Amino acid sequence: MSNKHAYAVAAGHQRTASAAELILQRGGNAFDAILAAMMMSFVAEPLLSSPGGGGFLLAAGPNQPPQLLDFFSDTPSVPAAEIKQRNLDFYPIVGNFGTRSQEFHIGHAAAAVPAVPAGIFKIHQSLCSLPLNEIAQPAIEAAEQGVLINHQQAYVAMILKPIINATAESKALFSGMNTGTVWKNRQLATFLDSLSRSDHDWFYRGAVAQAITSQGDGILSETDFNSYQCKVRIPLKLTLGQHQLYTNPQPSSGGYLIFEQLKRLKSRHDPSAVLEAMQHADDLKRNPMAEVSRGTTHMSVTDTEGNLASLTLSNGEGNGQVAADCGFMLNNFLGEEDINTGGFFNWQKQQRMQSMMSPTLLLHPERQIALGTGGSNRIKTALFQVLNHLINDQKILKHAIEAPRMHYENGHLDLEPGFDPVDSAQLKKQNPIYSEWHNHNLYFGGVNAVQTGNTVAATGDFRRNGCGIVGVRQ
């Protein structure tokens, strides 16, 4: 759409995108809309997104210099040496993620402090124009009335079945997530209604925090909740010709690796050069990098004023524990080996945990794009390839996202179908250890992106049943 007064929304579920559009139609800005989308994702994508997890928002606009709001979790305040592991609720589960099985840990002691509520309050306080209870209303109504479960959400429930069945509360809440069924969550509706009429202390010093910290077989304490704050950071920046890119800075790792791959391309940007750049990024991982997480989703919004919002959320796989009377599962960030690279219960206390999540902005005089993806360690390669198509191949947004992808990690190359046979042969020659996929797969990420400027566009990644909406405010 060429109308400069149009808005665009892209998200991992149609209901998530529609909540943002509704708020835009009611006069909200991109940041009001991204909050509405976030809260709707708790309802429509409840095993990928949760108030019990963490995330990042990259925000920019004509009157808003790019800033990164970091509401990912901190490590606990208790020194690792003081932990008596035999007393903790912390145990392994094996999940089948389609391409492979993986062990991770769940239980009360797998949860880091929930960070999403702090993000909601900070985003609303610093960027929004509408009352929070108005922004939350679409999600509250959806939780009460129910959402129709699609194939994608049923598939996620299937691969996370060992976690869903871990406790009676989790099983009661999530076991009905089958394709074609209507899933309701009245406890979540009540929680969101209370949150939307409250403030930071309501969650971090109130009954929810007290219920979580009272668990004797967990790790989190009142100090963890009382001290937690959303942090505002200066984004990582890279200039390539007329393009300015912004993404998630340290302590997270994904943005740095994406930029290193882009810089490596130099004068070549063909598939062979793309693979060489991926191999370079893999070599940079002399120390294991954080790779959050299977349970991840992304949403992007631009409004009629040219504001851009790019937000990525994760709940890990979830720890199997439902927050009492709140209708959501807590994260299992302390039980993910990818994040805890030094071993479990071996952290430096009260440090912001690392993440591969990389909400990103691509700014050009003619078009401005907000994008991001879920996909664990594939985040860095999925976004790199889409950005390469946009910057160097000059593809339109839809074609950049739908183009076939590859992923390189630890000497192994994965290839989606669709590459030119000559390019495919060269890639296999470059890297003899490879797997050819017979179809496009959520393994390769789910890039949801919007564009404003000379053309307004929105694309939700078909690999994860994404949804893109473009409209004009009535």
DSSP letters of 219-234? ---HHHHHH---EEEP
The answer to whether residue 296 is catalytic is yes
CA atoms within 13 A on the CB side of 304: 14
- Whole-number pLDDT of residue 293: 45
Q: Would you state the pLDDT for residue 337?
A: 75
Residues present in the chain in total: 474
Residues of the chain with pLDDT below 50 are 287-293
The answer to whether 252 and 339 are in contact (CB under 8 A) is no
Cβ contact 442:464 at 8 Å? yes
Which of 75, 167, 296, 302 is labelled catalytic? 296
Q: What is the DSSP string of 333-347?
A: GGG-TTT-TT-TT-P
Closest CA to 474 of 9, 14, 24, 36: 24
- pLDDT value of position 99: 53
Pairwise CA distance, residues 262 & 275, whole Å: 11
pLDDT at residue 288 in the model: 46
pLDDT recorded at residue 260: 94
Distance, in Å, from the CA atom of 167 to the CA atom of 188, rounded to the nearest integer, reads 18
With b meaning 16 or more CB within 10 Å and e meaning fewer, what string describes 173-201?
bbeebeeeeebbbebbbbbbbbbbeeebe
Q: What are phi and psi of 309, to 5 degrees?
A: -135, 125
Helix (H, G, I), strand (E, B) or coil at 329: strand
Q: Which two tokens stand for residue 99?
A: 């391409």
